[in-house]
Amino acid sequence: MIQITFPDLSVKAFEEGVTPLQIASGISSGLAKKCVIARFNDQLVDVSKPLYEDGKIELITDVSNGYEDLFNHSCAHLLAEAIKALYPQARFGVGPAIEEGFYYDMDLGDIQLTEEDLPKIEKKMQALVAAGETITRYEVSKAQALSLFQEDIYKTEIIQELENDAVITIYEQGNFRDLCRGPHVSSTKWLKHFKLLSISGAYWRGDASKAQLQRIYGTCFASEEALKQHLHNLEERKKRDHRKLGKELDLFMISEYGPGLPFWLPNGYILRRTLEDFWIQLHREKGYSVINTPIMLNRELWETSGHWDHYKEDMFTIDVEDGTYAIKPMNCPGAILVYNNGLHSYKELPLRYAELGNVHRYEASGALNGLFRVRGFTQDDAHTFLREDQIGEEVAKIISLYDEVYSVFGLNYAIELSTRPEDNFIGTVEVWDEAEKALKEACLATGHAFKINPGDGAFYGPKLDFKLRDSMNRIWQCGTVQLDMQLPGRFNCKYIAEDGSKQTPVMIHRACFGSLERFIGIITEHFAGAFPLWLAPRQMVIIPVNVEAHGAYAKEIETLLQQAGIRVSIDARDEKMNYKIREAQMKKIPYTLVLGNQEQENRTITYRHHGSNESFTMGLNDFIEMIITEIKTLGKE
């Protein structure tokens, strides 16, 4: 017998091997029908999974929030079942849940699907939902699994790589079975709110030398409202594509002579420099010294840092008279050389260096994407040298800094802790364990929850990744905090401890934006190109009702505003006033000022905000004071 504890802390004994569904049925048939998934000892489990140990259970009927991966993974199986019914010759690769959806890779032989086939597949999926097929989990041996999937070369390849004594889980619904770890929803009836989105090609296991499969993408939600909102967001994202807005707003361009190397146009350069100035000022206020290090350094440096062994395939190199040089893919070795330029006492630590460093990495041409994936970009790096006993306090300060920065842009975030890779890492396991523990404690001390991302740490240390959520509900990995107990030792970094001995400092690598280019792409789409006043390349435009009659007053106001540091221009073209106003709205200029007889006589201005048809009139001095305050406070007051 096993002891099962319920959420109300009541305890009941059951036979070993009882399933959550059987437990639910014992309470009421209604509960069993509504039970979608279960949580046993804080882990999601299928309702058909036998339980063999004591534990606490939660029978889950409300899946409206937090179960997106569960629904998407289960819907991937629903898609595969529909494909198998429509195309019996189909063989399947993998079908995981991904951010905001799922996909399944499949081999249909000579049949090539197109977007026009998706409605037919959806119709079959809807029929399977209506059938309400029970999704059942069971376990088999490796030999049994090979027998079950003997006609599918892709599943067979996966199974053959498992240990001979492996216990393999199979999921079955109707006439379809799949190889999967799970868990899944209890029935296909829960998967009614889905949409297939697109088809693409995908090499088996991402290897271009292997078979090319067809990949169908889709998404699934627990409610119709959530699905509709997501589909609305997808349409909105198309409108907000930063490549489209970048062209319309004259922000940046990319030439065929430099793939992945953005050119900043006048408006974009103003935007970029404003963002840089904001970053530099904030970091100086927080005790950072701003530095700049060379873009190209000798191969020996990269060998010492470990980048040559771990990263050389992604580095641009050049052979010159005195050896091989590499264009830097990272800023950290340069910061270390700055640290080693002088002697340091324990009293100086933490010593913080901040750098807007231009780096280059080789990216395949097919992966390049506007500002999101480039070959040359600017990392907003900082490298802090400190004692081990200062780690917790310093990481807490960094998190506080990130809170401040992201709030300016209206971006919320979640934290992921990436731990030691399984291989290809430097240093001892013991040092890694200590570093991971320090990051965990720093998060908890600042009241921030975190998710473990096992094995995804940098080769020199664990890291915290900051996942930002934008206005269209997308997740972006931008900020990072990487704890490094390896590189300072490799470069013989030292400080004089209180007892006079020489000690090796710990190093923290951190970036808030991650990449300046990518962050600009993100906020361009986040704001739909309508940047807040302090950041907007063109902050306001003055439109005289009659250029001859009101031109002098417009010029006077332009001069006063420019003297106050405001980016303003006069639209004196021979066009109708309403046309100019509409164009200012299309160019997403925050303030449009209209000046006529009344404004000139009363020394006032009439203005409207971008996106609004409502106009306001106020005194010139009051307006200038209001604008200056909005810019200085970054719109927070």
Q: What is the largest CA-CA distance in the chain?
A: 94
35 carries an active-site annotation: no
Are 162 and 197 contained in the same domain? yes
Are 546 and 486 contained in the same domain? no
What are the DSSP E strand ranges found in 454-548? 463-469, 475-484, 495-496, 502-503, 506-511, 540-544
Question: What is the Cα–Cα distance from 604 to 481, expressed in whole angstroms?
Answer: 50
pLDDT tens for residues 295-348? Answer: 999 999 898 888 888 788 888 988 988 889 999 999 999 999 999 999 999 999
Question: Token pair 């530095």 is at which residue?
Answer: 291
Name the helix (H) or strand (E) containing 340.
none
The answer as to whether 310 is a domain residue is no
Are 79 and 225 contained in the same domain? yes
Strand pairing of 540-544 and 568-570?
parallel
Q: Which of 49, 230, 240, 509 is catalytic?
A: 509
CATH number at residue 419: 3.30.930.10
Instruction: Give the pair of three-digit tokens for residue 553.
Output: 């007053």
Distance, C-alpha 202 to centroid of its chain: 22
Distance, C-alpha 167 to centroid of its chain: 35
Task: Give the pLDDT confidence score for residue 422 in this predicted structure.
Answer: 83
Lowest-confidence segment of 428-432, 580-584, 624-628 by average pLDDT: 428-432
518 carries an active-site annotation: no
Lowest-confidence segment of 202-206, 306-310, 400-404 by average pLDDT: 306-310
Task: Give the pLDDT confidence score for residue 563 in this predicted structure.
Answer: 95
Number of structural domains found in the chain:
4
* 8 A C-beta contact, residue 571 and residue 545: no
The model carries a pTM of: 0.83
The answer as to whether 95 is a domain residue is yes
The answer as to whether 254 is a domain residue is no
Domain that holds residue 30: 2-60
Note if the bond before 350 is cis, omega within 30 degrees.
yes
The answer as to whether 108 is a domain residue is yes
Q: Which of 381, 470, 484, 571 is catalytic?
A: 381
383 carries an active-site annotation: yes
Q: Which of 242, 463, 526, 610 is catalytic?
A: 463
pLDDT tens for residues 514-532? Answer: 999 999 999 999 999 999 9
Are 38 and 114 contained in the same domain? no
Are 116 and 50 contained in the same domain? no
The answer as to whether 472 is a domain residue is yes
Q: Does residue 615 sit in helix, strand or coil?
A: coil
Task: Give the pLDDT confidence score for residue 596 in this predicted structure.
Answer: 94
Helices 620-632, 547-563: axis angle to 10 degrees equals: 40
How much of the chain exceeds pLDDT 90, in percent?
79
Are 515 and 577 contained in the same domain? no
Are 336 and 225 contained in the same domain? no
Are 462 and 601 contained in the same domain? no
The answer as to whether 255 is a domain residue is no
Closest CA to 604 of 593, 612, 614: 593
The answer as to whether 496 is a domain residue is yes
CATH number at residue 559: 3.40.50.800
Of the candidates 504, 526, 548, which is a domain's last residue?
Answer: 526
Are 504 and 547 contained in the same domain? no
Of the candidates 481, 500, 526, which is a domain's last residue?
Answer: 526
pLDDT tens for residues 26-53? Answer: 999 999 999 999 999 989 999 999 999 9
Closest CA to 625 of 566, 550, 579: 566
463 carries an active-site annotation: yes
Q: What is the mean pLDDT of the chain?
A: 93
The answer as to whether 362 is a domain residue is yes
Are 380 and 439 contained in the same domain? yes
Question: What is the Cα–Cα distance from 495 to 347, expressed in whole angstroms?
Answer: 9
pLDDT reading at 635 higher than 80? no
Q: Which of 35, 332, 443, 512 is catalytic?
A: 332
Task: Give the pLDDT confidence score for residue 96 in this predicted structure.
Answer: 94
Per-residue pLDDT band at 636 (split at 50, 70, 90): low
CATH number at residue 17: 3.10.20.30
Mean pLDDT score, 208-220:
94
Of the candidates 526, 552, 582, which is a domain's last residue?
Answer: 526
238 carries an active-site annotation: no
Q: Which of 360, 383, 490, 526 is catalytic?
A: 383
pLDDT tens for residues 474-498? Answer: 889 899 999 888 889 999 999 999 9
Question: What is the Cα–Cα distance from 256 to 53, expressed in whole angstroms?
Answer: 63
Question: What is the Cα–Cα distance from 195 to 230, expressed in whole angstroms?
Answer: 10
486 carries an active-site annotation: no
Per-residue pLDDT band at 460 (split at 50, 70, 90): confident
310 carries an active-site annotation: no
Are 575 and 458 contained in the same domain? no
Task: Give the pLDDT confidence score for residue 433 in this predicted structure.
Answer: 87
pLDDT tens for residues 405-436? Answer: 999 999 999 999 999 988 878 778 888 888 88
CATH number at residue 215: 3.30.980.10
Are 50 and 83 contained in the same domain? no
pLDDT tens for residues 157-169? Answer: 999 999 888 889 9
Q: Which of 173, 180, 240, 379 is catalytic?
A: 379
Closest CA to 359 of 399, 389, 385, 327: 327
Mean pLDDT score, 399-404:
92
Task: Give the pLDDT confidence score for residue 603 in this predicted structure.
Answer: 93
pLDDT reading at 637 higher than 60? no
Task: Give the pLDDT confidence score for residue 458 in this predicted structure.
Answer: 81
Rounded to whole angstroms, what are the CA distances from 544 to 448, 565, 573, 593, 622?
A: 52, 21, 10, 8, 20
Task: Give the pLDDT confidence score for residue 311 in this predicted structure.
Answer: 80
